[in-house]
Amino acid sequence: MMKKNNLIFFVLIAMVSVYAVQLKAQTTNERSPYNWNNLPKIAEPKFRRDTFNIEKFGAVADGLTLNTVSINRAIATCSSKGGGVVLVPGGIWLTGPVEMKSNVNLHLERDAILLFTSDFDQYPLVEGTYEGRRSARNQSPIFGNDLQNIAITGRGVVDGNGDVWRMVGKDKLTEREWKAKKASGGLVSADDRIWFPSAKTKLAHEQRRGTAILPGQTLKDFEDIKDFLRPNLVVFNNCKKVLLEGVTFQNSPAWCLHPVMCEDLTVRNVFAKNPDYAQNGDGLDVESCRNVLIEGCTFDVGDDGICIKSGKDEEGRKRGKPTENVIVRNNIVYKGHGGFVVGSEMSGGARNIFVYDCSFMGTNIGLRFKTARGRGGVVENIFVKNIRMKDIVEDAILWDMYYFTKPPAAGEKTEVPEVTEATPRFRNFQLSDIVCNGAKRGIFIRGLPEMKVMGIELSNIVLKTDKGAEIIEASEISMKNVTLISKNAGPVVYVESGSNITLNGFKYASDAGLLFSINGEKNKNIRVVNARIPNSAGKVAFSNGANPAVLITD
């Protein structure tokens, strides 16, 4: 009997151990299979040397002749004969939508301009994806679905003619530009503040119409606002082995480059260029893609420069395809809402992303990670190093889980929602060797009460900014050799509802006033080591019930 009882006891222990392992797997990070010495591998397409010149298919480079049929015939013929190069020689080639085919490299010579027509009737309404949701769109100027082995290469220009699609506010233009815009045609709002390219765009704006296709709706329901449904310039859906190299993609009606659910994607040495007033004028939005290399590119756009996405809310979670195994290196981002961005449509998740040797100059935010309640999804295993930033408008480095939503005021008592599949997660970020010369704020971390931002390691960072760092609803935050040179007299570091925060080798300006402000009862274990923290009054402040014992200095 004793032996039987012992056996039952050990079986129960084993069962409990297995359950504990399963529970831990559900609540802890998924370890990345990659590291800096073992980066993801990206396969590139290869093409036959056979060349198909669009001129031989009837295309005319006079900037007047519509070459849609000729260019698409050249691409289809090339693909049907085993693939090769479709050559766009020097000249201005006016065209409607271009459909890519498998095994085709669309190659633009240096003096070639592929110019898309301003005739909206050339772009049929189609079902597409926009901001992570099933949406009605005009057909993208360049598109392809379910293809393999495709490329757009060369040194020429792809121009989406986006100005004819975009409404624009008077405050975004100079007086001379505003007069020219009104003289070009279109309509103006009653208060003379907004220019619309057409009556359909004006109607959509006034009625606050959206692009998402709701249950029971068809494309016919969007005909009355068709012109408002601006296309993304280049869209590839569910394609394998995709290469974009050397080409300038400019003046996109909405997003510039938008690969969706692609595998083995390479974007190399491209220039994405949009006016700074171009709403939704993102440079590159990589959505639910796997095995991605983005290198040597330049972005100067009206919204986010390089952005990682994976669908929005329930629709994105049902798709369940994260953007994963990504290398981003040797890129420059000028104007734009963010240099390197994840979110906010990241409901399918993002993981195993390596960003290094990049420069951001004049962007609104440098490194930007954004989400909100309802998104769900896990963003994890993000590794960043060797980033240079200059003249950043807002935050140098930002994590924010209240994107486009209103956070509670400091000390405000609010009901905390339960954690569900719609609760987003940010965890396991490692950032090192970052310099920023000029920004409104150096570091901003803001999680949710029910789901803190977890596991951020910051090391060897120098930020010269107006404000230092704000950490709200975050845990397991490590800062090693972080220098915050801030102009403002306010706290260099502000912490609210933070726990297990360590500053090792923390440095600040010699004339800094208040160093730390600890706000609220929920702070725990804030440790400062290898740093000079004066004992004089006015260097540390505690408010709203914060316990001075939570700040530990060694």
Q: SS3 of 448, please?
A: strand
Residue 404: name the closest of 370, 366, 364, 378 by CA: 370
According to DSSP, the residues that pair with 238 across neighbouring strands are none
Torsion from C-alpha of 163, 165, 168, 173, nearest 10 degrees: 10
CA–centroid distance for 543 within its chain: 36
CA gap 123, 226 in Å, rounded: 10
For 302, what's the count of Cα atoms within 13 Å in the CB-facing half-sphere? 20
**What 8-state DSSP symbol labels residue 44?**
-
At 280, the amino acid letter reads N
Q: Annotated catalytic, 337?
A: yes
The catalytically annotated residue of 303, 304, 395, 400 is 303
How many residues appear in the chain? 554
End-to-end CA distance of the chain: 57
Catalytic site residue from 159, 264, 282, 337? 337
β-pairing, 104-108 vs 84-88, is: parallel
Q: For this structure, is 400 an active site residue?
A: no
Q: Where do runs of H (alpha helix) occur along 123-198?
A: 175-183
- φ, ψ of residue 203 to 5 degrees: the values are -60, -45
Q: Determine the Cα–Cα distance for residues 306 and 293; give it in Å rounded to an integer.
A: 12
**Active-site residue list:** 303, 337
